[in-house]
Structure formats: structure tokens, C-alpha cells
A and B are shown apart, each in its own frame.
Chain A
């Protein structure tokens, strides 16, 4: 692992991109070396089919983003995969090992660790205790051995050393002995991520790592996520912030109404009409089925154009990618630059715009 990090930051990324280069850009695409495979996963809440995933694979060593409008079932899918919720149907396996019905703590122990959308810092434990808790296989966690410090002291020292190392990397070392409850929202996100790393996972699942994080901290959080890949971990994250997705994801999976709608590299996915439908559909409070009917009937194209026209933004000639990049995160709909130029320009903007709106919702959740 160390030689790779020394060998240049982009080695892992290039390897991940190379592995994904030939993967077809379609839902449920087969990957060269999947770490996680899920088949026919369904979760029903009353009459609502919250998750209905036919097939999905996560490429080992890559950063995969899971995006989709609010209520698309992303977090529920996370909960199912990690055992926090029970699926009505389906099977999924991690490193070839079936995980159906496995309780969450076992899922974590075999190397698949998640974080939460609403950060779960353990308030009345100090930062270092939070970190130490993350280490698995601790001898002192058994009742009888716990009473004899001699049996676990040396292991505890090793754990503390590893924890301090991680704290330094995440720039939390000055907070070492503070209660986790006294940290800011962004610091808690950092702590949660660092704590998850104490488990030494192979697959890190981050549920909205940016929600509620101060913009000044997002940059360092981004670096930390990229860093996970450099250290040989696989990352799967849910995010509403399209800038972040574009910046760090090797592969993007789009969910809508519980289904996988599209898959592909970030640029390709963001101009995919199905993705835009999903976001606009959420905007219009319409069901996807209706949208699809309209799409087949050719009615949707006019509707999209009409709505963009109503927003009355000025047209300009910038290239689609450049435009999308300059769209500030969280831009309101009225201010978002739109264009009637070509299809590509429109779609890129719409996606970024919808993402901005959605991200604001995400922030609300995070702040609660």
C-alpha cells in the first residue's frame, strides 16, 4: 500500500478509470472486478416500493457516486446493503460472500463500513475515545478480560497510536481530548469518517459526506475521500453536490424511484436524458412512469424547453462543460444561467441546477 501512495497520487485513479473504461454505460453494467454485487433487491414500505434494484456492481478500488433526487431510495439502499434495514427480497454479496440477513455489526467486521447522513458522533465520549471504539477485535471488549488491564493494555496502545495517526491526517489532533459533542458539524463529519477508517474497511460507504459541511471544509473532505482510494479502499458515496461528484467520482450510479436509472462516468451520466427526467420529475412532482410515457410520446422535450424559457435567464455561448463547472453550488433556479443553444448545454445546466436545489435539501437534513 505505501509504495502506491508514494508512486504518485493518480496511479489508483488511472487504474480505476482504466478498469471502468470498457464498462457499458447502462444500468446494471458488469464490472471487471466487482467488490459488491447486488441482485433484485427490493424494499417495500406499505404500498411504496422504496428500493427496486435489479442488478448493480461496484468496481473495486474505484470511487462510485450514488446520486438521485430526494426520495430516490439511496439511503434505504445503503441501509439494506449494510444490514440496518431488512430487504423484502434480493441477494447481495461482498467479496463473493453473501450478506443477506447479516446483522450490521458483522457487515462492518468483514470490511464494509458506512457513515450516516445525520452524523453520529458519540457526544459524551472524547474524540480519541470515539476513534478507539472503531478498532475491531479488541481483547478488552470482552466482559471478563476487560477487568484485567494487563490483558489489553498493549493492544490499546497500538490502537491509540493508529487513532492519533488518523486524527493528525484529518487535522483533528488538537481536539483529541475534547468531547465529540463540542465539535462543529464539519468536524463531526471528519471524525465519523476517521472513525470508520479505524475499522480498516475495504469498502467505505459514505452517506452524504458533504451535507451540512461548511464550504471551507469541503475541500479537505474531498481530499480525504480521494485519499481513501489512494490507500486501496473502495468508496461508495451518496451525494447531492454535483460538483463534488464530478470532481472525485470515477463512476456514477443514478437512482430514481428506487430503481437504477443510469450508470456511467460523471460527464456521460449528467447528460443522460433519464437522469434529467428523474430530477425534473421530482421537480414537477410527477411519477417517473408518467414522465417515461411522455418521453416516449415526445412531449417532454417541449416541456423542458418551455420551463427553461419561463425562467427567463439570458442565453450565452459558453461550452456546456465549462458552464456547468462555473455554476456555483446552491445557485437558485432564477439565477442559474441557462441556454437554448444545444441539447448538451441545456442538459448539463439542468442537472447542475437540480442538483443545487437538491443539495440544499440535503443540507437541511444534515443540520437537523
Chain B
């Protein structure tokens, strides 16, 4: 087995675009769910709205890329307000139901036949990323030890990790401030926070909007990387991957979402390549599984790892065990 190549390809995923996208999505969920206790099961919708914002403005309406970015973020804010206004006064479960429905609505409207002229139907939209790649300062591939990155992906990674760093910095600053304290208190007991003179509804809305905007950034980065905006990328499993990543890394921790995303995508690739190599070298007999099964088996193994993690380390990799112990009281 060629361990060198397996590790090389796996480490590429560790810092790759998938990890960036899901780190951003999970950072958003971390603000909403980890710190504020809001169950947003519609992060995919925010990412989709972000991707569509750029794609529709640039390709469909042939307007500026930068306007597209503004519209993408604005649309995420509007979506958060739309979801939040009716539900944030109610119990937490209502937001969960509404957001999961909204995420499917966004996807289905995007791929619908009647919206084809604007959203491109199930094929999605292409041809909106030229401005982004025109800005690419990298003119030649970067070689770093065994790794070689092409100009295009270098640019996406630079911007993507830049955004991850910026969002993480914001979360770090916010969560050690009185603003973050109010959010954490709302997660614990919102009536207590109301009784102390805080406008709980306003804070929940701010949290939902901020998490949603970061989710939209995830969608923007991913569609620019792909050069295409395809609605089916943003199905509900997008949201639940992000949740798994957040819980693995540690909810309500600053670096949890980033660490979780890197580990999950590393593990996916590593398990996949190891299985393939083992099958090729006949360490795994043919009657047990063949090359075509690896895609499914890696999910199964990842699932097992997640279950073991929740049993033995429910607080996630970076979480504080004492906090979880309080729940058991």
C-alpha cells in the first residue's frame, strides 16, 4: 500500500475547499446552536441563497460580481428575518421545523421548471466566477514538499481560509464580550435573561442573522470553487454534515467547527483511499466488498466514529467535560 500517497491526498482534503465550506457552515451553526441554542436545521438554505445570490446576479442579470456578493449576503439576512420573525418568539422546536422546511423550499424552488430562466433549473447556473478568478494573484503552481497546488485552487483556498480566520476571530471576540454572554445565557434559560432586562428576541435574531450570513459565505465559496451553482448540493444532508462537524469539534467552542471540518474531510478521504488500496492489494477479500462499496462504507465508518465519540467524549474534541456533566444533574 502506498501510504505516502494516501496521506498526501488525505492531507489535501484536510485543508481543502470542502473543509473550508463546511467549516464556515459549522461556524454559523455554532453561533446559532452552540452559543444561542437556536436549532437552525436550514443552514443549507443559507448556503444556497449565498450561492444563488452571486450566480443569479452575475449570470442571469449580467450585473457586477460585487453586487452579487452584496445581494448574496443581503438575501441571507432577509431569509434569517423571514424565518426568525414568526418563530423566534415561540419555543425552540418551531424554528427547527420551519428552517428544515425552508431549506427544502429554497432547493426545490431553485431546481423547479418555472424558475428555470432565473435559477437555471436542476442544472444550476455556471459562468459567474470569472471576476473572482481574474483577481487571482497566484500566477504559477505552488509546490510544497510532496504537495502541489494549482493557481486556481490556491486562490480559492487563500480566500476561503481567510474567511474562516475572519469568522473565527469574530466569534472569538464576540463570545468573550457581554454580547456573547447574553447569547449563552439565552441558551441556558431565556426567561431568566428577559427578567434581567435583555431583549431576548433581538439577540436571537442577531444570532440567527450572523450565523446565516456565515452560512451564505460557505455557499459563495463553494459555488465559486465549482464554477457552478447546483441546487442539489444544498440538500438537507449539507446541514447535517455541518452539525456532525460541529458536534465532533465541540459545540460552543471557538475552534471546534474548524477542527471538526478538517478532521471529517481528512477522515473521509483517508478511509476511502485506505479501503481502495486494501481492496486492490487483496487485503480485503472480494466477497466482502469491492471498489464500488467504498463510498458507502466510509460513511458507515465515519458514523461509527461519531457514535463512539458521543459515547466517550460527548462534549466533542475541544469541549469542556464539566459543561456536559452539568446536563446530567
**Chain A: residues with CB nearer than 8 A to chain B?**
82, 84, 103-106, 108-109, 113-116, 120-125, 129-130, 132-134, 136, 138-143, 146-149, 152, 156, 179, 181-182, 192, 195-196, 198-199
Contact = CB atoms under 8 A, between A and B. Distances in A.
B179 A125 contact: no
B192 A120 contact: yes
Interface string B162-202: 00000000100110111111101101110111111111100
A120 B189 contact: yes
A141 B179 contact: yes
Given A84-B195, A122-B185, A196-B196, 14 more contacts: A104-B194, A108-B197, A109-B197, A116-B192, A120-B189, A125-B181, A125-B185, A132-B178, A141-B198, A142-B179, A143-B174, A148-B173, A152-B178, A196-B195
Contacts of A182: 326
B27 to A, nearest CB: 15
Contacts of B196: 105, 108, 113, 133-134, 136, 195-196, 198-199
B180 A105 contact: no
A138 B194 contact: no
B178 A156 contact: yes
Contacts of A125: 181, 184-185, 188
Contacts of B210: 143
Interface of B: 170, 173-174, 176-182, 184-185, 187-189, 191-200, 206, 210, 322-323, 326-327, 329
Contact of B177 (A115, A136, A152, A179): A152
Contacts of B188: 122-125
Given A105-B198, A195-B196, A133 B170 contact: no
B326 A138 contact: no
Contacts of B170: 147
B180 A146 contact: yes
Contacts of A130: 185
B185 A133 contact: yes
A199 B147 CA distance: 58
Contacts of A138: 178
B194 A133 contact: no
14 contacts: A84-B191, A105-B197, A108-B197, A121-B192, A122-B188, A123-B326, A124-B326, A133-B182, A140-B177, A143-B206, A146-B178, A147-B174, A148-B173, A149-B177
A161 to B, nearest CB: 15
A122 B192 contact: yes
Nearest to A119: B192
Contact of A105 (B179, B199, B326): B199
Nearest to A111: B197
A176 to B, nearest CB: 15
Contact of A181 (B180, B199, B206, B329): B329
B177 A124 contact: no
A186 to B, nearest CB: 15
Contacts of B181: 125, 129, 132-133
A140 B179 contact: yes
Contacts of B323: 124, 179
Contacts of A114: 195
Contacts of A199: 196-197
Contacts of A122: 184-185, 188-189, 192-193
Contacts of A146: 173-174, 177-180
B32 to A, nearest CB: 14
Contacts of B329: 123, 181
Contacts of A108: 194-197
Given A109-B197, A120-B191, A181 B179 contact: no
A146 B31 CA distance: 15
Nearest to B194: A104
Taking each of B179, B180, B191, B195, which has the highest tally of chain A beta carbons within 10 Å of its own beta carbon? B195
Contacts of B197: 105-106, 108-109, 113, 136, 199
Contacts of B185: 122, 125, 130, 133
Contact of B195 (A116, A141, A147, A149): A116
